[in-house]
Structure 1
Amino acid sequence: MVGDRDRRNPGIIPRTFTKIFEIIHDNESKFEFKVSAYMLELYNDRLQDLFVSPAEAFSKRIEIKRDRKGLVFAQGAETKEAASAGELFALFEQGCANRHIAATKMNVESSRSHLIIGIMIESRNLTNGSVSFGKLSLVDLAGSERASKTGAKDDQLKEANSINKSLSALGDVISALSMEQPHVPYRNNKLTQLMQDSLGGNAKTLMFLNISPSDCNLDETLTSLIYATRVKAITNNAQRNIDSKEIAQLKEVILKLKSGQPVEEDV
């Protein structure tokens, strides 16, 4: 997801940052863009804000909410704007420095949490004033763990149990979606609640799998491939989220009124 340290071979996340602003640059004569992001980790069943210090993150309460259009947002989390790919990557590096990692027998730098980056993009058509908006979720899932292989004990064992529990919940959601069941158990875990607008409904979902070529990891490799096969069975009808010029203006007025700002009479 990240790539190497010197960025000679960037991973999906930095490549995505670059591509977003390449598209913005190519269309800036027709649209006005606003890009903002939040960055969270799910650690031991608790959502923590990575844009603040670990001490502050521990004391903050983050709640998962949905707006009327089904867009999921993290109430209480810091949201920061970025004007370039470089600014977005700097925010990402800041957040990564606060993420929980540890060494195990399987990995020198093992992720002890799931990483969720939400990138909100709003564009205003300079010709007709209509506003389009969407969210891109970049999720770096910690790998499922077997204590017998990782040597996890005490706190690491607790972390592993939490990781496996949330991955199991995600698997249940994927199964329900792929089999088109009437009830999808999003609420069984905070990970699936936070990913609800990225799985099913008006969303396009991509999963990239990192598997091992070693014979000793054959069981994990097969399990991961089966997991990904179920994801591939999910089919959605993604649509654009767009507001007319009038609706966009009304929303702007409401925001100003809520914040106590003056509103022009001709708006």
Structure 2
Amino acid sequence: MKLSSLYNEQQELRRNTYSSLTQIYQEVQTFKQELKDFQSFSYLLMRNFQHQYQDYLSQIVDVVQGTQLENENLQFFQAKAVDLEQSLQEINERYQVEKQKRKALHNDLVELKGNIRVHCRIRPLLPFDTESGDPAFQKRSLSLSEKVVHATDDETVLVRCSRPGHTLFNKTFQFERVYSPLESQKIVFGDVCPLLTSLLDGYNVCIMTYGQTGSGKSHTMLGPHSESDPVSPSEADQEMGIIPRAAGELFRLLSENPTINPRVEVSVVEIYNNELFDLLTKDSSGIFGVKRDVITTKEGKSNVPLLTYEHVECPAEFMKLINKSLQLRVKHPTLVHADSSRSHLVVTVTLTIAVPFDSFADQQLSQKLCEEMLCTTQKVKTSEKAGFCPRGLSPAPIPLDPTEQQKQVQAKLQLVDLAGSECIGMSGVTGTILRETSFINRSLAALADVLGALSEHRGHIPYRNSKLTHLLQDSIGGDAKLLVMLCVSPCQKYLAETLQSLGFGSRARQVQRVQAKRRNLLVSGKSK
């Protein structure tokens, strides 16, 4: 029994051992297959890695080579930048020299053209040229609105004179510049702009618009400035007149050289019914527009005592004063123009700049001052030894410190928007407006008389016949650079007024005045 049992256990053990060995064998075979697959995968992975490694290594080599090339280029450009900086410095030095020459040539050119220059601007046809409340006139509106004034070129105006009872003929007028109706405000200001350079060089400048009511004077000088001129903001920028553009250009020029320590002051006056009003100050009752008077100083210059001057530091402040003054300006509608200005507007910009002695002429002035002071000192010493001091000589002159020497130049820019001349019969005015028209026409006639007297070299020039001519005496007959902008209508309806304006401009061109001069220098704050 025991043998049988042992035998059975031995057989069972054999079976279990075989089963285990079989299972182990199968697992070993499976592991071998997995190991074989892993070896194949590892081989493929290694090959892929080698390929990627070669690709990345090639890219790294390319980047390194590119970096080296960029470094070489950077070094080249750095060296080139140094050369350009040196060249720029040399060019700036030459520019400063040429700038001084340009200033001299600019002023020579302006003076060769004449101190009084006359430009003529022909406005386009406007709706009110054919509109009228008179039925009889409406029947003739087409013929009367026919264009008879033309700009044949930049310097010539052609007028086709066709009036009932008169022979048809053409008449031409020559001016320094003629603008056709298609030329913009920007083009007009382009010819005015050089005068601002003269202002910064120390010359007095006056720009005035002249013409009949409704001919475009205020539009040329101010641009859209009333409710009757509704325009979009973009159109307003394009249609800006001479005054706002001059304000922007003046401060732009001043910003280019901050070392000159500029001071800009503005006054605004209105001449209404031959009375002058300061529009920047209030009277005792708080109303703007205080009456002032014009006087002639001992030096023969015109002056307005107690006139208000406001200091401005940017174009916005400048135009704020102008716009406030325009609200006070007297206006009334007429049959010719619905928003007719009934007064002359004069904007005066006083520019004071202080710069060091930097030109040969300034050095000569400094040397002359020192010589005069040395001579004065020697005279005083001689006088003291003799026991007396001559009248008018300082007993102890104070020499100038060369390190503090500077010049101060004060120049004035006058911007004048004249009231329009009118034919009383055509404008249809009565009462108070008729009286205004009479004063306007008389003041403009006085202006024409002054120009006539100047052109004929008369001994007496009637400046005091009108507050307008008295105020503008230094600009019209003095040494200021004067630009007269004639504004004329192109249509037959205003032919007589147009011929009168063109005749006025022709007389103005004939005036020969003294050469324009720079303003006096103020050395160390004292006038010389």
Bin of the TM-score, shorter chain as denominator length: 0.7 to 0.9
**Aligned equivalents of 1:114, 1:59: Cα separation in 2:** 14
Q: Which residue number corresponds to residue 347 of structure 2?
A: 117
Q: Which residue number corresponds to residue 46 of structure 1?
A: 275
Q: Which residue number corresponds to residue 243 of structure 1?
A: 521
Matching of residue 77 in structure 1 with residue 354 in structure 2: no
Q: Which residue number corresponds to residue 222 of structure 2?
A: 2
Matching of residue 103 in structure 1 with residue 381 in structure 2: no
Residue-by-residue CA offset, 1:33-54 (whole Å, 9 max, x unaligned): 1110110111111111212358
Q: Give the direction of change, closer, same or farther, for the CA distance of 1:46–1:244 in structure 2 (3 Å limit).
A: closer
- 1:213 aligned residue (486, 490, 495): 490
Q: Cα offset for 1:67?
A: 4.7
TM-score, structure 1 as length reference? 0.86
- 2:426 aligned residue (136, 143, 149): 149
Indicate if the aligned counterparts of 1:145 and 1:164 stay in contact, CA closer than 8 A. Answer: yes
Indicate if the aligned counterparts of 1:38 and 1:118 stay in contact, CA closer than 8 A. Answer: yes
**Aligned equivalents of 2:426, 2:527: Cα separation in 1:** 57
Residue-by-residue CA offset, 1:118-176 (whole Å, 9 max, x unaligned): 11111111454111111111111111111211111101000000000100110010111
Instruction: Give secondary structure in 2 for the equivalent of 1:51.
Output: strand
Instruction: Give secondary structure in 1 for the equivalent of 2:489.
Output: coil
Please list, as runs of the form range in 1=range in 2, the aligned pairs for 1:19-34 lying within 5 A after superposition: 19-29=249-259, 31-34=260-263
Q: Which residue number corresponds to residue 260 of structure 1?
A: none
Residues paired across the two proteins, number: 249
- What percent identity do the matched residue pairs reach? 33
Q: Give the direction of change, closer, same or farther, for the CA distance of 1:61–1:103 in structure 2 (3 Å limit).
A: closer
Indicate if the aligned counterparts of 1:45 and 1:190 stay in contact, CA closer than 8 A. Answer: yes
Q: Which residue number corresponds to residue 65 of structure 1?
A: 295
Mean Cα deviation higher: 102-111 or 66-75: 66-75
Matching of residue 138 in structure 1 with residue 415 in structure 2: yes
Matching of residue 197 in structure 1 with residue 426 in structure 2: no
Mean Cα deviation higher: 14-23 or 214-223: 14-23
Residue-by-residue CA offset, 1:185-240 (whole Å, 9 max, x unaligned): 11111100000111122111110011001101000001000001111122331110
**Aligned equivalents of 2:492, 2:426: Cα separation in 1:** 14
Q: Give the direction of change, closer, same or farther, for the CA distance of 1:25–1:219 in structure 2 (3 Å limit).
A: same
Unaligned runs of 5+ in 2: 1-220, 226-235, 358-404
**Amino acid of the residue matched to residue 36 of structure 1?**
E
Q: Which has the larger radius of gyration?
A: 2
**Aligned equivalents of 1:225, 1:175: Cα separation in 2:** 14
Instruction: Give secondary structure in 1 for the equivalent of 2:270.
Output: strand
Q: Give the direction of change, closer, same or farther, for the CA distance of 1:68–1:124 in structure 2 (3 Å limit).
A: farther
**Aligned equivalents of 1:90, 1:113: Cα separation in 2:** 20
Q: Which has the higher helix share?
A: 2
**Aligned equivalents of 2:412, 2:297: Cα separation in 1:** 13
Indicate if the aligned counterparts of 2:281 and 2:288 stay in contact, CA closer than 8 A. Answer: no
Matching of residue 227 in structure 1 with residue 504 in structure 2: yes
Root-mean-square deviation (CA), in Å? Answer: 2.1
Indicate if the aligned counterparts of 1:50 and 1:57 stay in contact, CA closer than 8 A. Answer: no
Mean Cα deviation higher: 49-58 or 147-156: 49-58
Q: Cα offset for 1:184?
A: 0.9
Q: Which residue number corresponds to residue 143 of structure 2?
A: none
**Aligned equivalents of 2:270, 2:287: Cα separation in 1:** 10
Q: Cα offset for 1:77?
A: 2.4
Q: Cα offset for 1:7?
A: 3.6
**Aligned equivalents of 2:527, 2:522: Cα separation in 1:** 10
Residue-by-residue CA offset, 1:21-72 (whole Å, 9 max, x unaligned): 122112223x111110110111111111212358656883412134565553
**Amino acid of the residue matched to residue 242 of structure 1?**
N
**Amino acid of the residue matched to residue 4 of structure 1?**
P
Indicate if the aligned counterparts of 1:63 and 1:76 stay in contact, CA closer than 8 A. Answer: no
**Aligned equivalents of 1:222, 1:90: Cα separation in 2:** 37
Indicate if the aligned counterparts of 2:280 and 2:288 stay in contact, CA closer than 8 A. Answer: no
Mean Cα deviation higher: 56-65 or 204-213: 56-65
Q: Give the direction of change, closer, same or farther, for the CA distance of 1:90–1:171 in structure 2 (3 Å limit).
A: same
Please list, as runs of the form range in 1=range in 2, the aligned pairs for 1:151-166 lying within 5 A after superposition: 151-166=428-443
Indicate if the aligned counterparts of 1:130 and 1:242 stay in contact, CA closer than 8 A. Answer: no
**Amino acid of the residue matched to residue 35 of structure 1?**
V
Instruction: Give secondary structure in 2 for the equivalent of 1:241.
Output: coil
Q: Give the direction of change, closer, same or farther, for the CA distance of 1:210–1:56 in structure 2 (3 Å limit).
A: farther
**Aligned equivalents of 2:319, 2:327: Cα separation in 1:** 12
Q: Cα offset for 1:250?
A: 6.9
**Aligned equivalents of 1:97, 1:59: Cα separation in 2:** 11
Q: Give the direction of change, closer, same or farther, for the CA distance of 1:195–1:59 in structure 2 (3 Å limit).
A: closer
Instruction: Give secondary structure in 2 for the equivalent of 1:60.
Output: strand
Instruction: Give secondary structure in 2 for the equivalent of 1:121.
Output: strand
Q: Cα offset for 1:182?
A: 2.1
